[in-house]
Amino acid sequence: MKPLPYIVLLTILSHAGFVGSRINVSLTAIDSQASTFTVGVLMSLYAAVPMLVAVSAGRLIDRIGVYRPLLVCSAAVALSILLPFIFPALPMLYVAAVMIGTSFMLQHIALNHLVGFIGDPAERAVNFSWLALGYATSGFIGPLLAGFTIDLVGHRNAFLVLSLPPALAAGLLAWRRPPTPGPVEREPGDPGRDVMDLVRNPKLLPVFLFSGLLATGWDLYAFVMPVYGTSVGLSASTIGVVMSSFALATFVVRLFMPIVSRHVTEWGVICTALVVAGIAYSMFPAVRQVPLLIALSFLLGLGLGCAQPMIMAVLYSASPPGRQGEVVGVRTTLMNASHTFLPLLFGAAGAALGVGPVFWAMAGLLLTGGWLAHRRR
């Protein structure tokens, strides 16, 4: 098997378990009579430790190479998802959320570094589009797998089922090693690296900021949709179908990104993504019917799904030599900072005011970001 399809397959397997675990953690907490704020805390824990260690993780990958972190973290994702099956109690959800999020974060950095490494620079945007298609595929599979498994065998057994895809990814990595970039040795006399050099980089900073905003819209959907679906009386499998329509839309829009990228600038894509996502979020509180929820989720997926391949290609191309993993780590830190604090804020707001203001607040942020991106364009 060629390197890129193999890497995409590994991504699909691990990410399907990761996405499914987020939904199962949310619905398991809700089934245990946890509050909306508690669900927000659990979703924040997926990002809390990655927020703190992502830059160091990127530097580690630059220093020791990609393969060992990728193999270890693939196995760690599977074992972490399995924990609530072995110890079925609400406190274990907190532990599992931290471990799943941290393991997948390191794996995510390694996979993006690996895709940027293979092929020629001219092929980079297309390669990242294929990786994004892999994430979209697993984003479609994960909610369906979680929702139907919960309805068929219960929340606890669903964790066992969801651990199997990342376990298979770890087994494949142990069996066949893909071509990977080796460690980067520091030049003699190099005083070290200051992460603020990357943050201040005029080519990287705007991409970091808008990437974080788009990722916040993506991550919030995974938190608020199970809560909203439960509040309007949807079953776990129906919520899984609704959320899979979001992933299907990201898959569809990414199929056309190699063509779109030849005719639209990077900032044009980012501006469009922010505006479309903001419009979709603003309409959710008025909708309770399943077909309309599916349609809105699809629209949101079209908006949020189109920008990621362009962002990753720009980031990798603008990265200083030997610091590609660190750049992805900085982006991951900024994204996880929003993932950590905003679910807490929106969870508290949802508990006090309902989920309507949560949708509208996110819509306001995205539309404001779309206006700023338009001005930059």
Which residue did the predictor score with more confidence, 192 or 167?
Answer: 167
Measure the CA–CA gap between 264 and 158, rounded to whole angstroms. 42
What's this model's pTM, rounded to 2 decimal places? 0.71
pLDDT tens for each residue of 14-36? 999 999 999 899 889 988 888 87
User: Sorting pLDDT into bands at 50, 70 and 90, what band is 92?
Assistant: very high
The domain spans of the chain are 3-179+195-376
Round the average pLDDT of the chain to a whole number and report it. Answer: 82
Q: What is the mean pLDDT of residues 2-13?
A: 87
Q: Report, at the CATH architecture level, how domain 3-179+195-376 is classified.
A: Up-down Bundle (1.20)
**pLDDT, position 13:** 93
**pLDDT, position 160:** 95
pLDDT tens for each residue of 134-160? 887 888 888 889 988 999 999 999 999
